[in-house]
Amino acid sequence: MATSTCPYCHQSVKAIDEICENCGIVLTSPIFISSQTTTPTSTQATCPHCREPIKASEEICENCGMVLQPAGALSTTDLPTAVMQEQCPRCQEPRRPNKKFCARCGYRFGEADVGSTQAQPVVQNRTAPLLGRVLNSRYKVNQTIGEGGMGSVYLAEDLILKRQVVIKALLSDDDPDLVAQSVKEREFLAAIKHSNIVSIYDFITENKRGYIVMEHVHGKTLEQIMEEQGKPFEAADAIRYILGILPAFSYLAKLQLVYCDFKPQNVMLEKLKDGTQIVKLIDLGTVIKYERRPRDVYGTHGFYALEAVRAPSPETDLYTICRTLAYLVSAMDLADPVFGMPPSEHYKAFRDYPALYRLLCKGTHTQPARRFHSAEDLADQLAGVLRQIEGGTASVPINSHLFVSSVLTTTGKLGLRGEAALDEKDKAIVPLRSGDQALRSGNLQRALELYQKALTVNSKSIDALARCAEVLVEQEDYINALTMITRLQQLVPGHWKVA
């Protein structure tokens, strides 16, 4: 199973630890995992969270998503008697040898370790109050705007350039060299320049602390907006936000960078001075350089892909984006399921927009090879889904290379819909066009004959199979319609046209 290391001090931690016992950083949000593995055993085990059976070689529980405790990790039964008698005075968690912090609540043990009951809460010692202070003779700290496992966040004023900035504390430690190393490891972020990504202005160290200075984005996160409105986003709005942020992921992929922790909390809708809005990634603290087996990776429970525990990549970022979109339109329970998609009947948005559901199923497929492999590919299909959704609204134009302009079918069992454009490269394009003309005139039988003729020309025509299925549904021939849909699913699983 996977061993875990603290992203700051790089000491070993148990996967179930909430606090690093060496440096005191909070580990639970976001989750971080290292890919180093130990020799699996044949012992049958159960997940410590949901108690479901797991294999000894599994690194994450497929039922609840919990990162499993590393094999051979030190448990309380392994500790010497004298050490086990020493407990944290706050939560009574047994202390392990030579550890400075309690793994459960974060209390910092005093210098007189053995038998001492004196401890200080790590939350009060990780970062000293900065309000009113001027860092690096330039940044005046005015307000605390957040604090999490990856560091405290402050709103400050740049006294030289006269602008507001955001300052994030990277690490507080007794070792200045460790602080300098932490800052050095993040300096590659300054090279990221994209309109949909928050800008990095500066890296500074002061005393025993490191800080990152970032652009202040004026707006609200998608999570905040969703909480304020008290319901999920309309599907079209959520899709537009995701389409707006996908160019940032295309850019990161070209730089061989992995974002790792995309979620509604990390994307902000910024209102510009001209009244327009733009979506931005606002937290680069979890960005890593892509490598096959990275030392530390990050993610949030319910959003990351199963294989991201071992090998995060630009493609696992796309999985996380699809899970985020699914949550934005449904507010679904991220623990049911932890991976993939719930049944469509459980949430209204998935029932109302089957093409969107199909796309999300493809994007979160259990087999990585069957997902999207580039941000451009995801954007192209997602734009098609958006056009289909908006094309089902009266008076909304649907001009697109994916949809036929001003074509709406208003009668029949399928109701109002936007008509997906034919693939002009299809060998059966001629009978397909004729079939569409017959369909628009209401001659279903003639349309079906022409679509079937198209299949004799090209048996793998996505458009011919889809059109046949639609007509057969109109004719209430559900058995043959299902046959066509099944062939489509086998031919192009997860394609947005397969609805």
DSSP collapsed to 3 states, 258-324: ECCCCCHHHEEEEECCCCCEEEEECCCCCCEECCCCCCCEEECCCCCCHHHHCCCCHHHHHHHHHHH
- Residue 406's alpha-carbon distances to 269, 332, 399, 401, in angstroms, are 31, 34, 8, 13
185 phi and psi, to 5 degrees?
-70, -20
Given the residues 261, 283, 317, 426, the one annotated as active site = 261
Average pLDDT score over residue span 367-389: 92
* Least confident among 3-12, 137-146, 395-404, 450-459: 395-404
Confidence of residue 142 (pLDDT cuts 50, 70, 90): very high
| 134 neighbors 11 (Cβ within 8 angstroms) | no
pLDDT of residue 424: 82
pLDDT of residue 415: 43
- What are 407's two structure tokens? 């074509």
Between residues 124 and 323, which one has the greater pLDDT? Answer: 323
* Least confident among 83-92, 153-162, 257-266: 83-92
pLDDT of residue 113: 40
Catalytic (active site) residue 336: no
Average pLDDT score over residue span 96-110: 56
pLDDT of residue 28: 47
Confidence of residue 361 (pLDDT cuts 50, 70, 90): very high
Between residues 227 and 442, which one has the greater pLDDT? Answer: 227
Q: Is the pLDDT of residue 464 over 90?
A: yes
Which domains can be identified in the chain, with CATH numbers? 1-125 (no CATH), 134-215 (3.30.200.20), 220-384 (1.10.510.10), 411-491 (1.25.40.10)
Q: Is the pLDDT of residue 37 over 70?
A: no
Dist. CA 308–CA 289, nearest whole Å: 14
pLDDT digits (tens, 9 = 90+) for 177-221: 656 666 666 778 888 999 999 999 988 887 777 788 999 998 999
Between residues 243 and 416, which one has the greater pLDDT? Answer: 243
- What are 242's two structure tokens? 């995701």
pTM of the model: 0.62
pLDDT of residue 38: 38
Tell me the average pLDDT of the chain: 76
pLDDT digits (tens, 9 = 90+) for 262-317: 999 999 999 888 888 899 998 887 888 898 878 767 788 899 998 888 889 999 99
* Least confident among 81-90, 158-167, 330-339, 355-364: 81-90
pLDDT of residue 2: 47
* Least confident among 43-52, 78-87, 387-396: 78-87
pLDDT of residue 275: 82
pLDDT of residue 350: 95
pLDDT of residue 291: 87
pLDDT of residue 396: 45
- β strands within 21-150, DSSP E: 31-33, 45-46, 53-54, 107-109, 119-121, 134-135, 139-148
Dist. CA 209–CA 99, nearest whole Å: 21
Kindly report the length of the chain.
499
| 181 neighbors 153 (Cβ within 8 angstroms) | no
pLDDT of residue 96: 66
Q: Is the pLDDT of residue 452 over 60?
A: yes
Dist. CA 250–CA 446, nearest whole Å: 44
pLDDT of residue 7: 58
Longest dimension (CA), the chain: 89
% of the chain exceeding 70 in pLDDT: 64
pLDDT of residue 110: 53
Confidence of residue 461 (pLDDT cuts 50, 70, 90): very high
- DSSP-derived 3-state class of residue 405: strand
168 is in an annotated binding site: yes
% of the chain exceeding 90 in pLDDT: 39
